[in-house]
Amino acid sequence: MDKVIVFDTTLRDGEQGAGGSLNIGEKLEIAHQLEKLGVDVIEAGFPASSPGDFEAVKLIAKEIRTPIICALTFAQPDSIDAAWKAVKGAEHPRIHIFLSSSDIQMFYQLKKSREEILESAREMVAHAKSYLDDVEFSPMDASRTDPEYLYKITTAVIDAGATTVNFPDTVGYATPSGYGELVEGIISNVPNIDRALISIHCHNDLGMAVANSLAALKKGARQVECTVNGIGERAGNASMEEIVMALKTRNDFYQMDTNIVTAEIYKTSRMVSDLTGFTVQPNKAIVGLNAFRHESGIHQDGVLKKAITYEIMDPRSVGIPSSSLVLGKLSGRHAFKERLAELGYSLNDEDLNRAFASFKKLADKKKEVVDRDIDSLIAEEMRTTSEIYHLEHVQISCGSPGIPTATVKLTTPYGQTVTDASPGTGPVDAMYKAINRIVKVPNNLTEFTVKSVTEGIDAIGAVLIRIESSGMTYTGRGADTDILVSCAKAYMNALNRLLMAKKTTKRARGE
């Protein structure tokens, strides 16, 4: 089969989704998981866009060794220089240059002529080529570019040294048949196309990003740019898991394969959702809550008799256990460990002991502990292992009439236990003010969301918050059967991420 190169841009284009910014530590955590997933290229960021992104790309280039580490850049010398400085420590570095090629963007946004754009593209590719061999070029808004001009600029950048040419459907305007024809036209009309890899990058504004990507692959493209869970600018990007599983499930039609370890898909999806704060919709293909659930009696009957009657994929192939084992307070350590393995978790003895103790506490509060409870529990344990400040105790006094008051007890980075209290306009406000009196990190709360993880009155309540400090946004999550405790955990998680990001930035700078 033909091999398709999976170019993952979760850490660059995915992060551009409004409200989904990641700090350096979070980017590195996702990058390690993307390496486990088996992606071929990680677009780690846009170094010239901010000092934080520069440091993140530099750290990822230093620590992630198997995939190609790519940095995006403007078609400007200073930006290309910054990209090279960020990725030069990578085992396999790449510089990715983009420049608008459609008349709409050239004339109205850049206010430049076709000749000026062509010359700039040629010069900037040559400039990047002076640093390294692996250079990618994207004529931005390719799907709305005059085909003859697109052929001309593609020929020029390949002559200048581009080894990958990417044709973005930047605004999600293309249709599957039209985008496929675009690739066919490039293959037929660019004389030196045999010297470069054809890549595609589709946005989902009309809900056709995956369909467009698959159509282009069928016509001869061999690199697909995508993101985990399809996150990204506006309506998002082509979803990595959907493309990969379409190629795998329908290999009879596509006759293409990838290097993706599909059993890592679900775990990667959960991690990206957790760190970005973008919840995966229940009916999302491959990784949604309902993707392998059946409520219709006819469907249930068929699945019980033979899963393939209504399931075209084995859920275990993407890391979702097919069974539905329910754990309770009488379940033992072995059953718990086996369930964790089925859900894609591999814990060392210390982490397993801590997680099992938390599971037992949860099982005492709930009659049944289902997979989603376990996911939430493990996520909570993972959040607490990298804490700087630890929440030991929280007590709230509120009601009407009365003044809401919160008392909190935290363990400091020096092992000391500090207790403080504060009134507030409500219980959450009082709690956060009390925490702030101890941690003393200036920030603004910008988002606060509460939801139930499972059904029932004993359900775990999950809280997602975002705080802003020094122009950066930090996401925090917390989960507990007591919703106010969840609020406290979420705020502590966000504060710890803020503090960890500062430490990681200093480490990346060698301070």
Q: What is the 3-state secondary structure (H, E, C) of 180-247?
A: HHHHHHHHHHCCCHHHCEEEEEEECCCCCHHHHHHHHHHCCCCEEEEEHHHCCCCCCECEHHHHHHHH
pLDDT for the residue numbered 322: 62
Q: Which is more confident, 451 or 13?
A: 13
In the 8-state DSSP scheme, what is residue 108?
I
Q: 18 in a domain, yes or no?
A: yes
377 and 253 belong to one structural domain:
no
Quote the number of domains for the chain.
4
Tell whether the model's pLDDT for residue 509 goes beyond 70: no
Tell whether the model's pLDDT for residue 75 goes beyond 80: yes
Token duo for residue 163: 């080894």
Q: 20 in a domain, yes or no?
A: yes
Q: For residues 273 and 12, what is the distance between their CA atoms, to the nearest angstrom?
A: 15
Q: 210 in a domain, yes or no?
A: yes
397 and 444 belong to one structural domain:
yes
Cβ neighbours for 406, distance < 8 A, ≥ 6 positions apart: 394, 395, 396, 397, 421, 422, 424, 427, 430, 431, 433, 434
**pLDDT above 90: percentage of residues in the chain:** 62
Cβ neighbours for 456, distance < 8 A, ≥ 6 positions apart: none
Residue whose pair of structure tokens reads 């379409």 in the numeric block: 246
pLDDT for the residue numbered 356: 86
Q: 284 in a domain, yes or no?
A: no
Q: For residues 378 and 477, what is the distance between their CA atoms, to the nearest angstrom?
A: 12
Reported confidence tier of residue 425, pLDDT bands at 50, 70, 90 = very high
Tell whether the model's pLDDT for residue 510 goes beyond 70: no
182 and 298 belong to one structural domain:
no
Tell whether the model's pLDDT for residue 303 goes beyond 70: no
308 and 237 belong to one structural domain:
no
State the amino acid at position 24 in one-letter form.
Answer: I
145 and 9 belong to one structural domain:
yes
Q: Which is more confident, 398 or 473?
A: 398
Residue 485 sits in a domain of what CATH number? 3.30.160.270
374 and 430 belong to one structural domain:
no
131-168 burial by CB neighbour count: b if 16+ within 10 A, else e? bbebbbbbbbbbbbbeeebbbebbbbbbebbbbbbbbb
**pLDDT above 70: percentage of residues in the chain:** 92
Q: 286 in a domain, yes or no?
A: no
* Structural domain containing residue 427: 387-508
Strands 197-202, 223-226: pairing is parallel
**397: which strand partners?**
405
86 and 200 belong to one structural domain:
yes
Tell whether the model's pLDDT for residue 409 goes beyond 60: yes
Average pLDDT, integer, range 145-165: 98
11-42 burial by CB neighbour count: b if 16+ within 10 A, else e? bbbbbbbeebbbbbbbbbbbbebbbebbbbbb
400 and 503 belong to one structural domain:
yes
pLDDT for the residue numbered 295: 55
Average pLDDT, integer, range 87-115: 96
256 and 336 belong to one structural domain:
no
How far apart, in Å, are the Cα atoms of 483 and each of 390, 394, 424, 480, 488? 18, 12, 17, 6, 9
Average pLDDT, integer, range 85-94: 98
Q: Are 211 and 228 in contact (CB under 8 A)?
A: no
49-79 burial by CB neighbour count: b if 16+ within 10 A, else e? beebbbbbbbbbbbebeebbbbbbbbbeeeb
pLDDT for the residue numbered 9: 98
Q: Mean pLDDT over all residues of the chain?
A: 89
Q: 282 in a domain, yes or no?
A: no
Q: What is the pTM of this model?
A: 0.80
Average pLDDT, integer, range 275-304: 77
Average pLDDT, integer, range 376-382: 72
pLDDT (tens digit per residue) in 166-225: 999 999 999 999 999 999 999 999 999 999 999 999 999 999 999 999 999 999 999 999
346 and 405 belong to one structural domain:
no
